[in-house]
Amino acid sequence: MSEALVLSGLGKDFGKRTAVKALDLVAHRGEILGLLGPNGAGKTTTISMAAGVLTPTRGTVEVGGVSLAAKPFEAKRKLGLVPQDLAIYEELSATQNLRYFGALYGLGKTKLAERIAFALATVGLADRATEQVKRYSGGMKRRLNLAAGLLHQPEVLILDEPTVGVDPQSRNHIFDTIRKLRTDGMTIIYTSHYMEEVEALCDRVAIVDAGAVVALGTVAELVATHAGTGIELELAGDIEAGRAAAAAHAEVTVTDRTLRVVPTAGLAPVIAALEATAGITLVRVALHAGNLESAFLALTGKALRDGAKS
């Protein structure tokens, strides 16, 4: 499979703070590559560098074999960005928005008209093309945001949280559009806080933490390698004391009020240790089946969905 987007040793410092260390990532042609990471992991910084919005402190970006640093215009023509913000003019109509964004890519009048018609039809807004965007629903605005990224037929489309605040109908429409674009050969980089979206859409997932890719693979591979199985113990009281007590008899990760344990010599010593610890009450015991979320937790030690962008 050929490479559509290659990030090599990509890093960004903001003053003394390092947002992205030295990130390596390859997206293959025609795949949907998910980018998952907790707050501050560096996802938005990474895709901003990939899209040419931020200048990297180190490393390189290649889009369709073209170096972004050496030939920025050529590389940018191969790449579309759908920012997390609704980067559209609400006072204008969809057509007026797309005419402007298309002109930025040097599309001629006839070609631009064709591409506007295609983009609007793709996102299901053809019948509302001349209406002022401020009258659109949140979901329709998101779809127009997506359409603006498609106008110039990019080889690689970067979607940054494209479904934030949309209704289920619009979200499904966006999913269908993304799947169709993938079928047509487009490479999609997809960041989201919604684990189920990534599981449903992405061919491969890169988990990013502290400015580096900590795991990369299909959802099944990540779950098999990192999620593991275990037992969830919900505690009331001093969770840190509970973690310390359980750690002598199991591998432990902590989520909110719950310890996830993989016992080294059976569950009984763990329970006994917890019961012997003052200030702790065991509320619930459950068997944990591995999924992408547990893989994510195991890799980063953090919950994903807290609603803010990183």
At closest approach, how far in Å is the CB of 131 from other proteins? 13
Distance CA 162, CA 85 (A): 9
At closest approach, how far in Å is the CB of 158 from other proteins? 9
Distance CA 21, CA 167 (A): 36
For 39, 60, 65, 157, 160, the CA distances from 102, given in Å and listed in that order, are: 33, 27, 23, 15, 20
Residues that bind other proteins (CB under 8 A): 48, 51-55, 72-74, 76-77, 79-81, 83-89, 91-92, 96, 99-101, 103-106, 132, 148
Which CB, 63 or 222, lies closer to other proteins?
A: 63
Which CB, 100 or 283, lies closer to other proteins?
A: 100
Specify the amino acid at residue 242: G
Which CB, 160 or 209, lies closer to other proteins?
A: 160
Distance CA 262, CA 221 (A): 20
Which CB, 174 or 227, lies closer to other proteins?
A: 174
Which CB, 161 or 209, lies closer to other proteins?
A: 161
From the CB of residue 262, how many other CB atoms can be counted at a distance below 10 Å? 15
- Going across the sheet that includes 258-263, the strands are 250-255, 258-263, 230-237, 280-288
Exposed/middle/buried for 180, CB within 10 Å: 0-12, 13-18, 19+?
exposed
Name the β-bridge partners of 82.
159
At closest approach, how far in Å is the CB of 100 from other proteins? 4
At closest approach, how far in Å is the CB of 101 from other proteins? 7
At closest approach, how far in Å is the CB of 148 from other proteins? 7
